[in-house]
Amino acid sequence: MKRILNYLLAISFILTIMVPITGIIVHKLASTLFLILALIHVFLYRKRLDLNYILIIVLTIVSFVLGILGLIMVEHPIILILHRIVSIVLIILLAIHIYKFHRGIAVA
């Protein structure tokens, strides 16, 4: 079950960051799916939550909300700029998170 969830998270994440190729509609659907799966992921792995994991989930929610606000308030381009900045930081943090997770599996 957890392995399927992790694969679905990876697929939805890849579809989310491929906006220039897939388009905005697929991006919106994939980001919504990613947010839901990330919340389920946090709920399943809640025994190991520390500040870094909380930061990742908060940045995911902030990025999602900024993306929605960017679509609603088109006249304020600063919101989409903030969405891009938060998303780039989130991608870096998720890469670190995945690296630490796989390194833990390889050592154990």
CA atoms of 99 and 103, how far apart (whole Å): 6
The amino acid sitting at 44 is: L
List pLDDT tens digits, range 33-42: 999 999 999 8
Inter-residue contact 37 to 11 (CB < 8 Å): no
Q: How far apart are the first and last CA of the chain?
A: 20
Mean pLDDT of the chain: 88
* pLDDT value for 36: 95
